[in-house]
Structure formats: C-alpha cells, structure tokens
Amino acid sequence: MTAPVVTDLGLVARTVAVPPEEVDLLDFAGDDGLLFAREGVGLAGRGVALRVDAADAAEVLAGIPTVDEVGLPGCGPVAIGALPFDRSAPATVVVPAVVVGRSPDGTAWRTTVSSGPSAAGEVAAGPRTRPPDDFRLTAARPHEEWLDVVAGAVAAIGAGRFRKVVLAREVTVEANRPIRAGDVLGRLRALYPSCMLFSVDGFVGASPELLVARTGDQVRSQPMAGTIPRSGEPAADARLAAALLDSEKEREEHALVVEEVAAALAPWCRALDVPAEPSIVPLRNVSHLGTLLTGRLAEGAPSALGLALALHPTPAVGGTPTDEALAWIAAVEGLDRGRYAGPVGWVDARGDGEWAVGVRSAELDGNRARLFAGVGVVADSVPEDELAETQLKLQALLAAVVRP
C-alpha cells in the first residue's frame, strides 16, 4: 500500500513583484541553480525547499499555502525537474527555496518558499573557478561498431520487430578544470536563442522540442522528427528545407511521432487540432520537421507534469511500438541515457507548466561532460547518414562545452 503524501509541511510561498530589468534568469541560476527559460521568459531557482517524487508533485505543491502580495499570474510554489529516460527509474523534482520568473508580457516576480514569517534571504551561489582550457573528446563507441548497430536495427525493422527505433551516441569531454553550467548555458543562449534552455542538477541543454505545455485548459505539444543540415546561405537552406518536406523517409518518421503524441493526448482533450502537414523548424545548424498540436483539456485532465509522464517517451526519442523499441534500445545501445531525452521542465500548484524533451543536452560532473545525440531509424535508414546526423546534433553542445 502506498503511503499518503504529507502535505502539511509548515512551508509558505510568498511572492513579490520585481522590476523586469533586474531579472536575468540565467544569471540568477548561475552554475548550480535551476533554469527553464526561452527568449528571456521562464523560471530560475536557487536552493531546495523540498525534493519530492515526481508523482507526488501536484499534491505537495497544492499543500503549500501561498501569500500573493501582488496578484501576479504564474507565481506561487513551483517544482522544476529533469526526469530519467527510463520510465521505471526513480524520478524527483525540486521545489526551489527561491524562484524568479518572467512572463511573456515582461511581468517579473520573486517567490520564496520557507517556514519563517518572512521571505527567505538570497541563496548564495557556489565559488567560481577558472574555466577549463584543455579538453579531450572520446566517443563511447567506435563509429564502425555504431554503424553495425544501426544496420542491425534496419534489419530488425525489415523483419517486422518494430517500425522505428531511436538510437543514441555518447561523447565524453574531459577538461582540465570544472566545466561550469553557467558558461555552457550562456553560449547556448547565444547560439540557440529560440530553444528552451534548462539546467537541473548538472543536466544542461537547449532543447528545440516541446513535449507538452499546459496553461489552464489549453494544451500544446510540438513533436519533432526529421532533420537536415543548414548551410547558412538562404537560397541553399530553402532548397534543403524543401527537400526535407519532400522526403518520404523523413515524413514517415515524423508522422509516426505525431500520430502517437496525438493518440496519447486525445483522451484528455475535449478538442485537439492536429495539422495535416508539418512545418520547418530552423535552428542554427539544422532544420527539423515539426508539428504544433493545440487543444482544450477536459475536466479532470492531469497537470502539465502528469501529461509529460503520460506522453514520455514519444517515438521521437524511443520508437514505435514503444515497448518493442525500448527493449531493443536496452539490448543494443550500450549506454546509460540517464536524463538524456527524458522530460525536463516545471509545474506549478495549479497544474500549469511546460516540459521539453531533454535533447541537445549534456550531463556535467566536475571536469567531465557526457554529451548525447540520437537519430530515428526506420526501414530505409542508411547507417552512414544516421552517423552524420548525430555529428550535426552533437555540434550544438560541443560548441558550448569545448572552448580551448
């Protein structure tokens, strides 16, 4: 029998308005804080008021009384987390002791969660060290061996074991001094301004893919699958984008993802719009096929975190059918994904929140960083092309981590 969640925690959330010009979310998070932001909008936290199981987050947040001094939207206690790719692994989220936020309209606020009668003081950042200037890169698996794994997956698809499987590669970076999260995030913000920046307990990245967002009864998801490089020359990139839209292989891979995301969201929605055609989502070095699903949630629908748990893993990071693809990944991939490709984001006491797919990401641990990139393998995948795609995707984090 599951023990009841203790909600009488003696904590109170207190919110005050702050001048927007004083809020830089990345600076507030620093090297050891929490961050989820895009284009200057989002949340940053410091300190830990609570760390709770992800499944209990909604009940715990609802049990923290809120003193709202300014009537701000989006304030009150929040939980921020990066969940493991493995659905059976323990998953926790953090309720920060102090969180600052900024809304799309520029409104900014600060919420503290504490047991005292007044707002908690500033949570001190850790000591800063000199950035590293010497790096060593190592691929976890030789290219030829990884190509054989992809060829094996293509053969398994041909034999009818599954329709798609996502295979990842890992590259390890060893530096001569600690790799600082704040430095990496600053470079990612400059390189990929339209992506969702995140930092949770050493897991950092800039994801282009929205798993799910909930605001009241409105829900959004933008699954992505299908990738092509960009040249930086407008006419050439237009031709590449047109080729991506015309590619039968890329369209099939993308359609598999959209179909399953729509099927997972539909039971919770009283209306769900699924565009018939994907669009191009351009980034600095690649373009993706993306489809923005929008809907209205039915009464009793889960929180944003609950929806993220219900959707994960989509075929964009696992495959389809899900169980067969995940079993293949466990048997042949040869790496521990950890939080790579898991949900990362936030949820508040109302159930609102935003969760990205934790791709374009790295696990930082002192002088070491583990970088990941994955590709969707389908029936007509060419192993050498899939290897080249992982190399393109790895450039996003390599450009931010390796600065000799």
The single residue listed with the structure tokens 């600690």 is: 178
Measured distance CA(39)–CA(47) in Å, rounded: 24
With 0-12 / 13-18 / 19 or more C-beta atoms within 10 angstroms meaning exposed / middle / buried, residue 102 is buried
Measured distance CA(20)–CA(314) in Å, rounded: 36
Question: In sequence order, what are the residues at sequence separation of 6 or more whose Cβ sits closer than 8 angstroms to the Cβ of residue 202?
Answer: 181, 363, 364, 365
The single residue listed with the structure tokens 């939207």 is: 73
Known catalytic residues?
A: 164, 209
Residue 255: its pLDDT value, please?
A: 87
Residue 121: its pLDDT value, please?
A: 47
Q: How many CB atoms lie within 10 A of CB 316?
A: 28
Measured distance CA(159)–CA(319) in Å, rounded: 16
Residue 308: its pLDDT value, please?
A: 96
Residue 8: its pLDDT value, please?
A: 57
Nearest Cα residue to 345 out of 190, 214, 173, 152:
214
**DSSP H helices in 159-265:** 181-191, 234-246, 248-265
Residue 2: its pLDDT value, please?
A: 42
Token code pair at residue 141? 């698996």
Asked if 326 and 256 count as a contact pair (C-beta separation under 8 A), the reply is no
Q: What is the mean pLDDT of each run of 10 residues along the chain (404 residues)?
A: 50 89 92 94 94 92 80 75 95 95 89 69 62 94 96 96 95 96 95 93 95 96 83 78 81 87 95 91 78 95 95 93 95 95 95 95 97 93 94 91 90
Measured distance CA(330)–CA(18) in Å, rounded: 47
Nearest Cα residue to 166 out of 288, 333, 312:
333
Burial 124-141 (b: 16+ CB within 10 A, else e): eeeeeeeebeebeeeebb
Token code pair at residue 172? 């390890």
The single residue listed with the structure tokens 């992800």 is: 54
**DSSP H helices in 266-357:** 304-311, 322-332
